[in-house]
Amino acid sequence: MSTSPVSAEPAAPVEKPIPVKIDSEQAVPRRTSKWQNYVTPVVVLLLALAVLITITRNWNAWEGGKAEQVTDDSYVRGDLTPLSTKVAGIVRAVDVADYQQVHKGDLLVELQDDDYRAQVDQAKAAVDAARAGIEENLRQRQLQDARIAKAMAGIDLAKAQIAAAEAGKEAVQAELTRARSERKRQEGLYQTHSTTEQTLESAVAAEGNLSGQFASREADLNEAQANLHSSELSAEAEERSKVVLESQGTQLQADLRAKQANLAAAQVNLGYTKIYAPDDGSVGERQVRPGQLVSPGTQVISFVALTKWVQANYRETQLTNVKVGDAAELRIDEYPGQVIHGKVAEIAPASGSQFALLPPDNATGNFTKVVQRIPVKIELDDPNLAAKLRPGLSVVATIRTRQ
């Protein structure tokens, strides 16, 4: 068996491997646990939760405990008084210009006062008439007192006449009794022819004469008693007339007081025709002009007093440690860069919403909690600077608490 020769192909050249440098960190893959992937989100969540808890639970305490409480909800305030008329009339003169400085008692506006002066004169005449009536009543009472005194004198005279008549009557009665006894004795003697007829006639005549005198004295007594009764009635009538005059005097006194009150009212109304500055300060824009007819309540001009202060409306959470007397620093926009010092004078007893025209009533609808503002009055240490300020200026107020 023959074997054919095999032709062998030349072998392909063998490529040498390129040496590769292997990093030890890359050669061994890093193995991490799953919980390490949540560390960062958990930390962020915990920080956010801590901030939320701090804000919701401790924010007010942190804010109220600060040594400086600052607010820009502050404004200069002052007593701004709208001056109005009390009576109707025509404006005679306006004696001030717009925004003029005035002093207490300066005449600002004057109304025509002719009608009111006439009312004052009429009221004075009524007072004079009432006083004249009282004077006349006084004279009548004095005259009545004289009449009463006369009536009392008549009573005394009548009593004296009664006493005299009674004494005369008793004296005549004694003589009459003796004369009657003498007549009887003479009659007895005449029957026994122991006396003369002439003596008997004399005794009878004496008795008759004394009887007449007795009757006359009795008549005088009755007349004196009648005079006494008449005098007593007259005195009683005069006393009643005096009581009437006294009651009329009381009525006249009341009428005088009423007339005097009318006079005072007329004088007050006359005074209302002139409007004066109530204090030192300045006025606003004039609202009326000469010749204008004004009615009661018409605003003629506004008055701004010299005294000014700052009203700072702090949040309720800022007033934890704020007290009356705390020092304050004020920065007014009109005076940039200048720090004005003052102190807390008053703190409002309620929030500003409670003093609103329509206070909120949270019980009638949905409730949303809103931080309330409490007005704080701050007085300036420098009164001269306070007098220069204008109400309404914006202020940044800083209160330094004592904590």
Predicted local confidence at residue 364, as pLDDT: 64
Per residue in 353-377, pLDDT (tens digit) is 888 777 777 776 677 778 889 999 9
Structure tokens that stand for 74 in this block: 């502050």
Mean pLDDT of the residues in the chain: 81
Cα atoms in the Cβ-side hemisphere of radius 13 Å centred on 40: 1
Q: What percent of the chain has pLDDT over 90?
A: 42
pLDDT for 379 beyond 60:
yes
What is the full DSSP assignment across 79-97? EEEEEE-SS-EEEEEE-S-
Predicted TM-score of the model (pTM): 0.61
One of 2.20.25.10, 2.40.30.170, 3.30.300.10, 3.40.50.300 is the CATH number of 65-112+280-362+369-400, namely 2.40.30.170
Count of Cβ atoms closer than 10 Å to residue 109 Cβ: 24
Predicted local confidence at residue 395, as pLDDT: 94
Q: What is the distance of C-alpha 44 from the center of its chain?
A: 66
Per residue in 136-162, pLDDT (tens digit) is 999 998 888 888 888 888 888 888 877
- Residue pointed to by tokens 């004289």: 146
Query: Per the CATH hierarchy, to which homologous superfamily does domain 115-271 belong?
Result: Methyl-accepting chemotaxis protein (1.10.287.950)
What is the full DSSP assignment across 324-380? TT-EEEEEETTSTT--EEEEEEEE-SS-GGGGSSS---GGGS-------EEEEEEEE
Q: Please answer whether residues 313 and 373 qualify as being in contact, where contact means their C-beta atoms are separated by less than 8 angstroms.
A: yes
Q: Please answer whether residues 200 and 231 qualify as being in contact, where contact means their C-beta atoms are separated by less than 8 angstroms.
A: no
Range name among 218-227, 273-282, 356-365 with the lowest pLDDT average: 356-365
Q: Tell me what the mean pLDDT of segment 207-232 comes to.
A: 75
Domain boundaries, the chain: 65-112+280-362+369-400, 115-271
Range name among 16-20, 56-60, 187-191, 254-258 with the lowest pLDDT average: 16-20
Q: What is the distance of C-alpha 176 from the center of its chain?
A: 90
- Determine which helix (DSSP H) or strand (DSSP E) holds 275, and give its type and residue range: strand 274-276
